[in-house]
C-alpha cells in the first residue's frame, strides 16, 4: 500500500495493519486475527465491537491503579496546558523534584536519590552505568564485571539483555557486553511445585555467587542485578532467605547489589517495593511500569545516599555523571506519577494487595488438576500457570489460550512460552478475582 493510500485511512479505525511492526508479537498471526482495543476503564478493556474484557495483566504489569483514572487524566491534561516540556540537562521543574521526593520516600533505608528515564530498559542500563562509573570514581576501575541471572529479564537495551538470561532475547544479537556472568535461576519444579509465596527450597543457590567471585575475583566485579521476583520469565518468587544471602555475599566482597523492580515495584507484592517485603536494602532499585500506572512512559533508578555522594565531588560547575535522556523527568510523566502516588496512598492499594494475597492464591491454586496444568505459583497479586507443551509446538498451547481468552472468553492475560502469567490491577475485587479464575478455567479446558 502506498503512503498516500495509507494517509486516506480512518486513523481511528485503521484497515491497514501493515505499517506497525508490533514488538514481542507474532505479527503474521496477529494481522490475520487482530486483537484490537479501543478504550479502557477501571478493570476492563473494550474492543471495537463493544466487548468488555477483564484485564488480568494490568496491561503489561503496569496499570496498577486501574485504567483511565480521572485523577491521573486530569493531572496530565493540566500539566500539558501549563508546561509541555522542560529540558532536564542543566534545568529543572517543580513536578520533577516533587515526583522524585515522593518515590524516594517510598523506598527503604537510605535509597534517597532518583535518576529519571523513560522505561524499565533505560532504568536498567542507567543502573549498570552508574555502577561502572561509581567504581571509577572510587579509583577501582578494574571492577567492570556485571553479574545477572539465568531466566532474568532486564529489558531490551544492550546492557539489559547482556545481564538478562532469557535465551530468545539474547540469541540473535551477537556477543553483547563482554565481562558478564550469570547466577543460576531459582526454579526447581520437583522441589517447589504449587508453591504459595516464597518457596522453602532454593536459598543455597545464592551461594553460586561465591563461586563466581572465586573465578573472577571480587576486584573485577562491579555489580549483581536480579529481579526480586523474576516476572517475565514466568513468575519465579525468590526462595526464603535467597535475597538476604545475596546481600550478605555482596557486602562481603564489596559488590553493588541492584534490584530490578520494574515489575515488583509499586504494590505488586503488597509493599511499595519488594526490597521492603524482604527486608533487604539494595544499592539501587530500578523502577518503571507502576510508577504512574502506565499512563506516560517513565522509569528511573533509586540510589543509596553513599553511592550518590561519591559522585558529588570535584568542581561544582562540572557534570558529575555523563548520562541522561532528552525526556528524563518529563513534566507529563511526573504529573502522572504524583497523581498516581496519591491514589496508591489514599486508596491504600499496596495494603489492599497484601490483604488480597491469600484470596488470590486460593483462587489461582484452585486451577490445580485441570488438564495439562503442571505447576502454579503465586506471590502478591501475581500468578503463573505452567501448561504442558504440545509435542510438536512448544508455546502453542499458551498462545492459543491467550488468543481464545481474549476473543472468546473476554479475558486478557500474559504468556511466556507455555506459561500463563497474571498480574491484575491492584483495584481488583474478590468478585473480579473469581471472574478471572472462572474464565481462565474455561480457557484451559478449551485448549486441552
Q: Are residues 209 and 222 in the same domain?
A: yes
Domain end among 299, 328, 346? 346
Domain end among 329, 346, 363? 346
The residue-averaged pLDDT of 265-289 equals 98
Percent of the chain surpassing pLDDT 70? 97
Residue range 123-135, pLDDT digits in tens: 999 999 999 999 9
CA distances from 29 to 57, 285, 347, 403 (A): 21, 37, 40, 10
Q: Are residues 296 and 233 in the same domain?
A: yes
Q: Report yes or no on 225 lying in a domain.
A: yes
Domains of the chain: total? 2
Q: Are residues 42 and 86 in the same domain?
A: no
pLDDT of 426:
98
Residue 1 has pLDDT above 50, yes or no: no
- CATH at residue 126: 3.40.640.10
Q: Are residues 325 and 383 in the same domain?
A: no
Helix (H, G, I), strand (E, B) or coil at 259: strand
pLDDT of 272:
98
The residue-averaged pLDDT of 361-374 equals 98
Q: Are residues 107 and 225 in the same domain?
A: yes
| Dist. CA 243–CA 198, nearest whole Å | 11
Q: Are residues 307 and 375 in the same domain?
A: no
Q: Are strands 180-183 and 411-412 parallel, antiparallel or unpaired?
A: unpaired
397, three cell numbers: 498451547
Residues 21-45 as b/e (b if ≥16 CB within 10 A, e otherwise) read eeeeeeeeeeeeeeeeeeebebbbb
pLDDT of 15:
67
- CATH at residue 54: 3.90.1150.10
| Dist. CA 21–CA 33, nearest whole Å | 15
Q: Are residues 118 and 202 in the same domain?
A: yes
> Which pLDDT band, with edges at 50, 70 and 90, does 12 fall under?
low
Q: Report yes or no on 337 lying in a domain.
A: yes
Q: Report yes or no on 25 lying in a domain.
A: no
pTM across the whole model:
0.96
The residue-averaged pLDDT of 312-320 equals 96
CA distances from 80 to 72, 85, 283, 339 (A): 12, 8, 34, 14
Supply the DSSP string of 179-191, one letter for each residue. Answer: SEEEEPP---HHH
Q: Are residues 134 and 188 in the same domain?
A: yes
Q: Are residues 270 and 389 in the same domain?
A: no
* Best CA proximity match to 311, nearest among 52, 63, 136, 186: 136
Domain of 282, in residue numbers: 72-346
Q: What is the chain's mean pLDDT, rounded?
A: 96
| Dist. CA 375–CA 215, nearest whole Å | 35
Q: Are residues 380 and 326 in the same domain?
A: no
Q: Report yes or no on 20 lying in a domain.
A: no
| Dist. CA 110–CA 171, nearest whole Å | 38
367, three cell numbers: 486451577
| Dist. CA 374–CA 444, nearest whole Å | 12
Domain end among 317, 346, 375? 346
* Best CA proximity match to 103, nearest among 272, 270, 279: 272
The residue-averaged pLDDT of 403-414 equals 98
Residue range 110-153, pLDDT digits in tens: 999 999 999 999 999 999 999 999 999 999 999 999 999 999 99
The residue-averaged pLDDT of 391-419 equals 97
320, three cell numbers: 558529575
Q: Which residue do the cell numbers 566482597 mark?
A: 253
* Best CA proximity match to 55, nearest among 71, 44, 40: 44
Q: Report yes or no on 11 lying in a domain.
A: no
The residue-averaged pLDDT of 36-60 equals 97
> Cβ(124)–Cβ(157) under 8 Å?
yes
Q: Report yes or no on 176 lying in a domain.
A: yes
Residue range 174-229, pLDDT digits in tens: 999 999 999 999 999 999 999 999 999 999 999 999 999 999 999 999 999 999 99
The residue-averaged pLDDT of 237-259 equals 98
Q: Are residues 261 and 144 in the same domain?
A: yes
The Cβ of residue 16 has, within 10 Å, a number of other Cβ atoms equal to 13
Residue 61 has pLDDT above 70, yes or no: yes
| Dist. CA 63–CA 65, nearest whole Å | 6
Residue 3 has pLDDT above 50, yes or no: no
Q: Report yes or no on 3 lying in a domain.
A: no
Q: Strands of 262-410 (E only): list them.
A: 284-287, 299-304, 373-379, 382-387
Q: Report yes or no on 156 lying in a domain.
A: yes
Q: Are residues 110 and 154 in the same domain?
A: yes
pLDDT of 14:
55
Q: Strands of 44-94 (E only): list them.
A: 44-46, 52-55
The residue-averaged pLDDT of 13-17 equals 70
pLDDT of 13:
53
Amino acid at each position: 500500500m502506498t503512503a498516500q493510500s495509507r494517509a486516506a485511512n480512518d486513523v481511528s479505525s485503521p484497515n491497514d495493519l501493515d505499517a506497525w511492526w508490533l514488538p514481542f508479537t507474532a505479527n503474521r498471526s496477529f494481522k490475520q486475527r487482530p486483537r484490537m482495543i479501543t478504550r479502557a476503564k477501571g478493570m476492563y478493556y473494550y474492543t471495537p465491537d463493544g466487548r468488555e474484557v477483564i484485564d488480568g495483566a494490568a496491561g503489561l504489569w503496569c496499570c496498577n491503579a486501574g485504567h483511565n483514572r480521572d485523577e491521573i487524566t486530569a493531572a496530565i491534561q493540566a500539566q500539558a496546558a501549563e508546561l509541555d516540556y522542560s529540558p532536564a540537562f542543566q534545568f529543572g521543574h517543580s513536578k520533577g523534584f516533587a515526583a522524585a521526593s515522593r518515590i524516594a520516600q517510598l523506598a527503604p533505608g537510605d535509597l534517597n536519590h532518583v535518576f529519571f528515564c523513560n522505561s524499565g530498559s533505560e532504568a536498567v542500563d542507567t543502573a549498570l552505568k552508574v555502577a561502572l562509573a561509581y567504581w571509577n570514581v572510587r579509583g577501582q576501575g578494574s571492577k567492570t564485571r556485571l553479574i545477572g541471572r539465568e531466566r532474568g529479564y532486564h529489558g531490551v537495551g544492550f546492557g539489559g539483555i547482556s545481564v538478562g538470561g532469557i535465551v530468545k532475547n539474547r540469541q540473535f544479537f551477537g556477543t553483547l557486553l563482554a565481562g558478564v556472568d550469570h547466577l543460576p535461576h531459582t526454579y526447581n519444579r520437583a522441589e517447589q511445585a504449587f508453591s504459595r509465596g516464597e518457596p522453602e527450597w532454593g536459598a543455597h543457590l545464592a551461594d553460586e555467587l561465591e563461586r563466581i567471585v572465586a573465578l573472577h575475583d571480587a576486584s573485577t566485579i562491579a555489580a549483581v542485578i536480579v529481579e526480586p521476583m523474576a516476572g517475565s520469565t514466568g513468575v519465579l518468587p525468590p526462595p526464603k532467605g535467597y535475597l538476604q544471602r545475596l546481600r550478605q555475599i555482596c557486602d562481603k566482597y564489596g559488590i553493588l547489589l541492584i534490584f530490578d523492580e520494574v515489575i515488583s515495584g509499586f504494590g505488586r507484592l503488597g509493599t511499595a517495593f519488594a526490597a521492603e517485603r524482604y527486608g533487604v536494602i539494595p544499592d539501587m532499585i530500578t523502577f518503571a511500569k507502576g510508577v504512574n500506572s502506565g499512563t506516560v512512559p517513565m522509569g528511573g533508578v533509586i540510589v543509596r545516599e553513599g553511592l550518590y555522594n561519591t559522585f558529588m565531588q570535584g568542581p561544582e560547575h562540572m557534570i558529575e555523571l555523563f548520562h541522561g535522556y532528552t525526556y528524563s523527568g518529563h513534566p507529563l510523566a511526573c504529573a502522572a506519577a504524583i497523581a498516581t502516588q496519591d491514589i496508591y496512598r489514599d486508596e491504600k492499594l499496596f495494603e489492599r494487595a497484601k490483604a488480597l494475597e491469600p484470596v488470590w492464591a486460593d483462587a489461582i491454586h484452585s486451577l490445580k488438576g485441570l488438564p495439562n496444568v503442571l505447576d502454579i505459583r503465586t506471590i502478591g497479586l501475581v500468578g503463573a500457570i505452567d501448561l504442558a507443551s504440545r509435542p510438536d509446538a512448544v508455546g502453542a498451547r499458551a498462545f492459543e489460550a491467550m488468543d481464545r481468552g481474549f476473543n472468546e472468553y473476554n479475558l486478557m492475560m500474559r504468556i511466556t512460552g507455555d506459561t500463563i502469567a497474571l498480574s491484575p490491577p491492584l483495584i481488583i475485587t474478590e468478585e473480579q478475582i473469581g471472574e478471572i479464575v472462572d474464565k481462565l478455567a474455561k480457557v484451559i479446558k478449551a485448549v486441552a
